[in-house]
């Protein structure tokens, strides 16, 4: 009985730390931040600080405009390539033959934003260049 309580209480304190950075299925890593989670693959590990800044700034802008916080947390999936984005949209939209147009780099709903890794827009998209900070 005591061992079970110890495990329970250890789980209460340790589990949140473990969940802060964990690996999701299919080689996705989850970064948990205040108000949103970022899902990314190993190819974007070095970009997460930059992407966090963009997402946090965008979140702040939206909250300022609407004069209030988001109702709940949301997820941001940073896809390593167009194929990953397309397969997610095919599944979500129940359109197995869907192929995104070259200018499509992101799509959002109330609980999630899917986007191709912004630093790859120059090769994975047309009309988008992450290096153009004004437009980004």
Residue 131's pLDDT band (cuts 50, 70, 90): confident
Structure tokens at 37: 């989670």
Residue 70 predicted with pLDDT over 50:
yes
* Per-residue pLDDT at 97 exceeds 70: yes
Is the pLDDT reported for residue 85 higher than 90?
Answer: yes
Separation CA 114–CA 106 (nearest Å)? 5
User: Average model confidence (pLDDT) for the chain?
Assistant: 84
Annotate 100-130 with b (16+ C-beta within 10 A) or e (fewer): beeebbbeeeeebbbbbbbbbbeebbeebeb
Strand order in the sheet with 106-109: 21-24, 28-33, 36-40, 74-79, 112-116, 106-109
């Amino acid at each position: 009985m005591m061992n079970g309580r110890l495990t329970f209480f250890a789980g209460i304190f340790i589990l949140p730390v473990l969940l802060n950075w964990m690996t999701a299925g299919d080689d996705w890593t989850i970064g948990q931040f205040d108000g949103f989670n970022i899902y990314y693959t190993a190819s974007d590990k070095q970009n997460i600080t930059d992407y966090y800044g963009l997402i946090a700034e965008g979140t702040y802008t939206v909250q300022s405009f609407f004069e209030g916080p988001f109702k709940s947390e949301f997820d941001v999936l940073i896809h390593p390539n167009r194929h990953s984005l397309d397969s997610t949209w095919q599944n979500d939209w129940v359109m197995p033959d869907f192929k995104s147009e070259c200018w499509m780099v992101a799509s959002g709903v109330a609980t999630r934003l899917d986007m191709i890794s912004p630093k790859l827009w120059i090769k994975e998209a047309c009309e988008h260049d992450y290096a153009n900070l004004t437009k980004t």
